[in-house]
Amino acid sequence: MKSFQKRNPVPIALVGITVLVLGLIAALNSEDLPVIGGGTTYSADFSEASGIQKDNDVRVAGVKVGKVSDVELDGDKVKISFKVSDAWIGDKTSAAIKIKTVLGQKYLALDPQGTKPMDPGVTIPRERTMAPYDVLDAFRDLSSTVDNIDTKQLAKSFDVISDTFKDTPDNVKGALNGLSKLSDTIASRDQKLANLLANTRQVSQTLVDRDAEVQKLLDDGNLLLNEVAKRKQAISNLLEGTKNLAAQLQGLVDDNDKQLDPVLTQLDQLTSMLQRNQDSLAQGIAKFAPFIRVFTNTVGNGRWFDNYICGLLLPSIGPINEEGCYEK
């Protein structure tokens, strides 16, 4: 058998490059592989996308079993492709887009039905799918509808109805009068209502634009609550220990009250005396400072007193101290 050094390197290189390319392709498409992939791919037709996006959850009975892999327009309908793993999908399965959060995030809910497994090549028809009506879209539509209402004409219509039924019994007349007053109130505050709806639309749009941030905030809050719940016993032990420590300190104070009371009384007397003589103490320290300075200069050069004594020899003895200790 020939060694690799004696064989033609070109076929070996081609085989190696082919293996590397196949491995790279398999790594890039690992989610679609039958054994180690992300699951079986199915599809469903919807009348509209309703805000669902790629990588949204796919759930069966509230349990996540996969995720949405693609959302694309297919003629007059929307085709949603999704992957499911570790879940049985029947041939009569229905699908619905549902709201995951109040901010508009969606997920795909499956209701497995049928007697045999569903063929991945068969698309769930529109007859077995349902798309929700978004709350945010409802606010937008409400704002647009109210903007198009002629409030003055509406008020006049209510007034005409009230005049028409003015000869009716008192109960009906009172109801119509109240309806007329309501219409007048709405007409008089038309601009305020329009501003309120416009602000509502802005708030809803802001929440939609920052859906990911708000969702992350909620998730972080859930993590914090979960961590607090996990450490409930530790927090309880800490509070219990603090309570016991306070009880021990209270007992210590009670047990030593007779010994501590005289000490605290004398300490209070001492502090009061120092407070009363504060000015005298300050004056004494100020006058004591020159003595300390001179004393430090005297003994600061070594283990001796460094001093000068004037007048030890009288001037009459000789020329040593003719001028004396004081200048003339």
Q: What does residue 58 show for φ and ψ, rounded to 5 degrees?
A: -115, 125
Query: Which domain does 90 fall in, by range?
Result: 38-134
Alpha-carbon distance of 275 to 271, in angstroms, equals 6
119 and 50 co-located in one domain: yes
Domain stops at, among 82, 113, 134: 134
Total number of domains in the chain: 3
CB 90 within 8 A of CB 113: yes
Does residue 150 sit within a domain? yes
92 and 44 co-located in one domain: yes
Per-residue pLDDT tens for 35-61?
A: 455 678 899 999 888 888 888 899 998
86 and 61 co-located in one domain: yes
CA atoms lying within 13 Å on the CB side of residue 47: 8
pLDDT at 79 over 90: yes
Helix and strand numbers (H, E) in the chain are 9, 7
Per-residue pLDDT tens for 216-256?
A: 777 777 788 878 788 888 888 888 888 888 888 888 777 77
Does residue 123 sit within a domain? yes
Does residue 188 sit within a domain? yes
47 and 98 co-located in one domain: yes
Per-residue pLDDT tens for 251-278?
A: 877 777 777 778 888 888 888 888 888 8
The model scores a pTM over 0.75: no
